[in-house]
Amino acid sequence: FADTMQLNVDVALLPCQARSIVVLTIIDTWGGAVVTGVALPGEDLLPAGPHRALLEALHSLYEGAGKPGLRRIAAGITNGEYRDTVSHEKVGALLRGASLPGWLKVECVVRQLAVWHNPRLDPDEEAARFTTLWLAADRARRGSESSPGMAALDSVFLTSVPMGPVV
């Protein structure tokens, strides 16, 4: 006779800061394994654009790494040789598209998931690929937060800041 496996699937919608996230839990009742992951938000929650493109690429990396738990990702970063740390809450917000953290935090998550990816991916190549995606998402976010006049003022301010010590 053939071995069969029974799966119990539980899908929960959880409210989160005026958004809903879907957490999918699959329980293998035969072997006891549990696979949980953060689902990619729908386009109604995160419409097409640079932030969604970043998130779709990140979810591809996350899935290739076996959808590790948020605390496991954060612990891997904390115990690794990275330039920053990332809390499990920040990892969750990043995967849900709820926020766009600074580049150092995104880079840590990308590098850790690349190491765990099957097959293993080069963390430097993935970081380079994600730099472009993050920069586009950051530009779009900053553009939507300020008016064109404010962007021009930011540009003037940034170019007028002295670069050396004041004498």
Over residues 33-84, the pLDDT tens digits come to: 555 799 999 999 999 999 999 999 999 999 999 999 999 999 999 999 999 9
What is the pLDDT, as a whole number, of residue 57? 98
What is the pLDDT, as a whole number, of residue 165? 47
Q: For the packed helices 88-96 and 70-79, what is the interaxial angle rounded to 10 degrees?
A: 120
For the ranges 71-80, 83-92, 99-108, 141-150, which has the lowest average pLDDT? 141-150
User: Do 56 and 63 touch, CB atoms closer than 8 A?
Assistant: no
Give the angle subtended at the CA of 97 by the CAs of 155 and 24, to the nearest 5°.
170
pLDDT at 138 over 70: yes
pLDDT at 8 over 70: no
Q: How many residues does the chain have?
A: 167
Identify the residue whose tokens are 């953290």: 101
What is the pLDDT, as a whole number, of residue 139? 97
Q: How far apart are CA 101 and CA 45, in angstroms?
A: 18
